[in-house]
Amino acid sequence: MSDMIETAKRALGLVDLTNLNEDCTEADITSLTGRTVTDHGSVAAICVWPRFVAQAVRELTGTGVKVATVVNFPTGGIDTASVVAETKQALEDGADEIDLVMPYKAFVEGRKGFVEEQIIRVREVLPEDALLKVILETGEIKDPLLIHAAANVAIAAGADFIKTSTGKVAVNATLEAAEIMLTAIEEARRDDPERVIGFKPAGGIRTAEDAAAYLALADRIMGHNWVSASTFRFGASGLLDALIDTLEGKDSVEGQGY
């Protein structure tokens, strides 16, 4: 149990606490921001729909918790101009981090250049201190070689993080996809040791045991000193409560796991 408590302590500060429910309200956002600073420490960020960014920024002022939002979400469309405009508005509203859904259907169809261009164009409008997390939607890409190729495209186009999933499809984060993506990050690190590229599993991660499995995988591939909030995040809505329950010795109730 002590090992799981240590894992929970480690994982709590890596959580992107998420509400991307279609029926999310301003009251839900206030509830979400109210959970970010706990007796056991703060989460890394919250991740919300673009329409709630300004509210979240106001409510989190002074906490140190970042505000992330999603663009081209959840379907990964191909109207790059709209995605860039959506990104600019989110930044004007105060977003610190942008989680961009890669046009994964176009990628599977072989349109690598188009996908790369969209990521580059979004990257270009981000200030230096804003993070770009690129969502591959690995459960829809499916093929391991294509997942690896998608990770490489995102990294080459300027992603600061690569993220498994939107949480909106049948298959979201898996350890198999995580291993492929972390391997791509490790390969990129060998090519350019100065560049920092992070990893974010999202969708279906609900328990301290789930978190432990992903952290162990990252430790094995990237080394024990690699994981931090600048290199690793969990995209989840229910995980925080499970981690707190573990830290407080309670039985956790599974929540959602975007």
- Helices 80-92 and 112-125: crossing angle in degrees, nearest 10, is 20
Catalytic one of 16, 163, 210, 241: 163
Name 205's Cβ contacts closer than 8 Å, sequence gap at least 6: 173, 211, 214, 234, 235, 236, 239, 257
| C-beta of residue 140 within 8 angstroms of C-beta of residue 104 | yes
Catalytic one of 96, 200, 210, 241: 200
Estimate the share of the chain in helix, then strand, then coil, as percent rounded to the nearest 5: 45, 15, 40
Q: Let me know if 66 is a catalytic residue.
A: no
| C-beta of residue 21 within 8 angstroms of C-beta of residue 11 | no
CA distances 179 to 144, 225, 250, Å, are 10, 17, 31
| C-beta of residue 194 within 8 angstroms of C-beta of residue 165 | no
Catalytic one of 99, 160, 210, 241: 99
Q: Let me know if 99 is a catalytic residue.
A: yes
Q: Is 47 helix (H, G, I), strand (E, B) or coil?
A: strand
- The alpha-helical segments, DSSP class H, found in 46-111 are 53-60, 80-92, 104-108
Q: Let me know if 200 is a catalytic residue.
A: yes
Residues forming the active site: 99, 163, 200
